[in-house]
């Protein structure tokens, strides 16, 4: 356990100590360290429960108690001793029984006057190792015991903790900025998508404006893929279970997929597209001269996520993938991976997400401790992992190895990107697969006339389009570049007498395929301009007496402020170029 994780784990105990002192009826359950701090779950039944308003005072009590924790020591105990220690706490007793049945050692850790059941991993001297201003209690939520909704609902208290006050403050600032950028809030304000209770959570409905953004991204993805030799295919949204039994997805997804029953048929809504694509490949004989074959598809897959995990666009049931599969010879792997990396770089640099230090690649490989999770023999996996590592090195990618992150059929290069406020996201991926071609008996005829297996490369550029949109909305805080904006220009007449001239400007914009609108409401000019800014429209074209007299428009750019008056033709040329260049 690293020092920061040890501090966070220690602070979970410190919180439990304060809670037990202030709420003697509370029963502590578990309290681990997490990525940004810690939490502890309590059962407060039979007495008062803290609220969000109590978090500040509880934080201060933790800081007051911290100097008394000069050590944190553990001692092994028998099952009887541990049970006696927690005789009134059924949650701890359940844990004690499980630990004993596994044959693991029971240990009690003590700091100050507080003792807890724990396996260890703490600061040795919390008073000197933990800065009192480096942590704060953050929020309260509900959580079922052991994550099972059949169990009692507990109260979870979250805390934030970092090495220093400066690191804590930086995270809090980032979190506040993230709240302003929340894609669910912006999606509603900008009229991009709707979540309907009648349709169901996890099934977003895209409005006309949201559909424009989706379609622009899909069009750009196709443009990039077409230039690299990909061809479009189209597949149905369901298949017989037999397809997924052959691919290996049935065992993995049968409980997380949607089963569909017809009059006398049993189907499954597809959790993956790759098995369908293998059947397109297999439909005709192939020669080594035909390879590589590159398929491009924008289509949906369906996975039955837990209702509590569904969140806006970032976690949905209906997942749109810009899915692609390459079938190639082994000697073509490096070139095909290079083509995919070129697409990834073009896509993300255009979206301003490919700056220095803003992305890296994770080489996602097997966990050697759980070989049963993966299909295919060791030699095939060794070869696939070596191929990807060599490709990442040849492409000059900053790479980190991720054990246990591989797909069940092959290793991956997962591309991690930082957004505008420094949050990290896994988006694009390249997956090397020797297993499915074998399971589906895919083949081509080589130069000698022998039948051999192709290599299958799975690749996604945006990944889940819904999840990517959630990241992109927050990356731009809703202020999309002109080429992605649902409304690219708003024409605003100063008063009613300027409406006719404004309509001629609007017509010129639309004739140039600029997505434009007119605000001819009976409102003040200031109110109209503020409305356009709220909608984050890239260009506002204002027309009044002087513009009519000089046959010009006054332009206000969202990104560059007020510009000099220009002719309508010049305005159209300027805006069209920015859109065309995807600037």
Catalytic residue among 8, 9, 325, 467: 325
Catalytic residue among 458, 459, 498, 536: 458
* 375/383 Cα distance (integer angstroms): 14
For the question of residue 261 being annotated catalytic, the response is no
* 404/373 Cα distance (integer angstroms): 9
For the question of residue 116 being annotated catalytic, the response is no
End-to-end Cα spacing for the chain:
45
For the question of residue 97 being annotated catalytic, the response is no
The torsion region of residue 316 among left (phi > 0), alpha (psi -120 to 50) and beta comes to beta
For the question of residue 328 being annotated catalytic, the response is no
Q: Is 580 exposed, middle or buried (0-12, 13-18, 19+ CB in 10 A)?
A: exposed
CB atoms under 10 Å from CB of 328, counted, come to 20
For the question of residue 458 being annotated catalytic, the response is yes
| Parallel/antiparallel/unpaired status of strands 293-302 and 259-261 | unpaired
Tell me the β-bridge partners of 115: 110
* 226/339 Cα distance (integer angstroms): 11
* Helix segments in 295-377, DSSP class H: 333-350
Catalytic residue among 85, 321, 431, 436: 321
Catalytic residue among 322, 323, 433, 517: 323
Catalytic residue among 412, 467, 528, 536: 412
Q: Which two tokens stand for residue 168?
A: 């804590």
Peptide bond into 292 cis (omega under 30): yes
Residue whose token pair is 């890239």 = 538
CB atoms under 10 Å from CB of 262, counted, come to 8
* Whether 426 contacts 415, CB under 8 Å: yes
For the question of residue 21 being annotated catalytic, the response is no
For the question of residue 323 being annotated catalytic, the response is yes
CB atoms under 10 Å from CB of 582, counted, come to 13
Catalytic residue among 122, 183, 252, 303: 303
Catalytic residue among 274, 297, 517, 536: 274
Enzyme catalytic residues:
274, 303, 321, 323, 325, 412, 458
């Amino acid at each position: 356990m690293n020092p920061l994780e040890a501090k966070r784990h220690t602070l979970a105990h410190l919180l439990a100590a304060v809670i037990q002192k202030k709420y003697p009826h509370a029963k502590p359950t578990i309290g681990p360290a997490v990525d940004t701090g810690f939490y502890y779950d309590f059962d407060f039944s039979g007495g008062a429960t803290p609220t969000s308003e109590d978090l500040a005072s509880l934080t201060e009590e933790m800081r007051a108690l911290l100097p008394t924790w000069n050590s944190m020591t553990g001692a092994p105990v028998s099952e009887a001793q541990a049970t006696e220690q927690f005789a009134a706490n059924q949650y701890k007793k359940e844990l004690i029984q499980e630990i004993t049945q596994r044959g693991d050692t029971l240990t009690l850790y003590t700091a100050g006057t507080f003792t807890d059941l724990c396996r260890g991993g703490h600061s040795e001297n919390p008073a000197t190792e933990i800065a009192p201003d480096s942590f704060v209690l953050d929020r309260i939520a509900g959580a079922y015991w052991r994550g099972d909704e059949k169990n009692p609902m507990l109260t979870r208290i979250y805390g934030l903790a970092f090495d220093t006050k400066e690191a804590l403050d930086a995270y809090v600032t980032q979190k506040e900025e993230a709240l302003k950028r929340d894609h669910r809030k912006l999606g509603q304000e900008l009229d991009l998508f709707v979540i309907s209770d009648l349709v169901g959570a996890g099934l977003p409905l895209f409005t006309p404006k949201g559909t424009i953004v989706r379609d622009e991204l899909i069009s750009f993805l196709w443009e990039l893929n077409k230039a690299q030799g990909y061809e479009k295919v189209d597949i149905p949204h369901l298949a017989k279970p037999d397809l997924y039994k052959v691919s290996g997805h049935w065992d993995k997804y049968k409980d997380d997929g949607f089963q569909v029953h017809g009059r006398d048929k049993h189907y499954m809504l597809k959790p993956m597209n790759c098995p369908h694509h293998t059947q397109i490949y297999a439909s005709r004989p192939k020669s080594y001269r035909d390879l590589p074959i590159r398929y491009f598809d924008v289509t949906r897959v369906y996975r039955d996520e837990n209702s509590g995990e569904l969140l806006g666009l970032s976690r949905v049931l209906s997942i749109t993938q810009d899915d692609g599969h390459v079938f190639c010879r082994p000697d073509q792997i490096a070139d095909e991976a290079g083509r995919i990396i070129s697409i990834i770089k073009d896509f993300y640099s255009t979206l301003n997400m490919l700056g220095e230090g803003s992305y890296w690649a994770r080489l996602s490989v097997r966990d050697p401790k759980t070989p049963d999770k993966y299909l295919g023999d060791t030699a095939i996996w060794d070869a696939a992992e070596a191929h990807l590592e060599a490709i990442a090195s040849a492409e000059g990618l900053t790479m980190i190895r991720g054990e246990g992150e591989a797909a069940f059929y092959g290793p991956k290069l997962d591309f991690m990107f930082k957004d505008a406020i420094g949050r990290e996201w896994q988006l694009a991926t390249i997956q090397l697969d020797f297993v499915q071609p074998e399971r589906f008996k895919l083949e081509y005829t080589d130069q000698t006339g022998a039948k051999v297996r192709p290599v299958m490369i799975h690749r996604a550029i945006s990944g889940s389009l819904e999840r990517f949109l959630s990241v992109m909305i927050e990356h731009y805080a809703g202020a999309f570049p002109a080429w992605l904006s649902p409304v690219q220009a708003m024409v605003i007449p100063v008063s009613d007498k300027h409406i006719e001239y404004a309509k001629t400007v609007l017509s010129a914009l639309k004739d140039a395929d600029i997505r434009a609108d007119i605000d001819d409401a009976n409102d003040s000019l200031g109110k109209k301009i503020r409305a356009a800014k709220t909608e984050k429209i890239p260009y506002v074209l204002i027309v009044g007496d002087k513009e009519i007299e000089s046959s010009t428009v006054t332009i206000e750019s969202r990104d560059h402020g007020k510009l000099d008056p220009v002719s309508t033709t010049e305005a159209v040329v300027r805006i069209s170029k920015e859109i065309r260049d995807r600037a």
